[in-house]
Amino acid sequence: MSELLSTKSIPVAERLIVALDLPSIPEAQALVEELGDAVVFYKVGMELFMAGDYFGLIDWLKARGKKVFVDLKFFDVPETVGRAIRALSQRDVDFATIHGNDAIMAAAAREKGTLKILAVTVLTSLDRGDLDDLGFSCDIEALVASRARRALALGCDGVISSGLEVPLLRREVDDKLLVISPGIRPVENRPADDQKRVVSVEQAFRNGADYIVVGRPIRDAGDRRAAALAAQAQIAAVFSSPASDA
């Protein structure tokens, strides 16, 4: 097993972020209520942004003691992104994602306040063929490492990265970088799944991730609370193992 476990002082129960990838606010609230104390941290993304009272949902989550990750992947003219992040920083939000070049990352970092800014490296739905289509000649690992180094140097707090690339980030980038890994699949990935670069819960953390984002494996489970508790048990086991004592 890898010896790259995160040493940051993050409560173990908060290392699981559940994606509220649902078409309506009531459905998202129903999932949160169903999961109860099994989950502390939630990601709210574009689908819910288009569903209605997005910020009302955030306030509802915070009133229940939850942490909130705004996953809107801000990508626009740097001045526009900076102003959007400035407005978001006035709300009680914990994480937010941005996309884009150095100027966009720097603009977001200048306006973040206490909000933690996470730069997207390479989406977990992309593979080598997709990067070829987009005109990137470098390999995935080189691109992820480059974007992570630049994000940290420009004042961002962390990155979104597949668990597959986390060992590279831990070797080549300052350990203060927060690494959040989506594309978590507790079982073998289905052929129809659009997530291509995936890892298990245990592998993500053994590779050095600070947090994981889990969506469909919990949202689509027959017993969603049981699925969340199972993920939490796996995380707790990783961080209570002898390899995590250092």
Q: Which of 232, 220, 231, 215 is nearest to 48 (CA)?
A: 215
Q: Round to whole Å and give the CA distance between 53 and 81.
A: 21
Q: Which residue has the higher pLDDT, 227 or 189?
A: 227
Q: Round to whole Å and give the CA distance between 161 and 146.
A: 12
DSSP string, 173-222: S-TTSEEEE--B-SSPPPTT-S--S-B-HHHHHHTT-SEEEE-HHHHTSS
**What are the catalytic residues?**
73
Instruction: Please enumerate in sequence order all residues whose Cβ is within 8 A of that of 142, keeping only pairs 6 or more positions apart, or say none.
Output: none
Whose tokens are 């908060």? That residue is 14
Phi-psi region of 135 (alpha: psi -120 to 50; beta: other; left: phi over 0): left
Model confidence band, residue 157 (pLDDT cutoffs 50, 70, 90): very high
Domain boundaries of the chain, sorted by first residue? 12-238
Mean pLDDT to the nearest integer, 211-236 = 96
Q: Does 3.30.1330.10 match the CATH number of domain 12-238?
A: no
Residue 165 has a pLDDT of 86
CA–chain centroid gap for 176, Å, is 16
Q: Round to whole Å and give the CA distance between 69 and 198.
A: 20
Model confidence band, residue 138 (pLDDT cutoffs 50, 70, 90): low
Lowest mean pLDDT across 96-100, 155-159, 190-194, 226-230: 190-194
- The answer on pLDDT for 194 being more than 80 is no
Residue 7 has a pLDDT of 87
Mean pLDDT, the chain, integer: 87
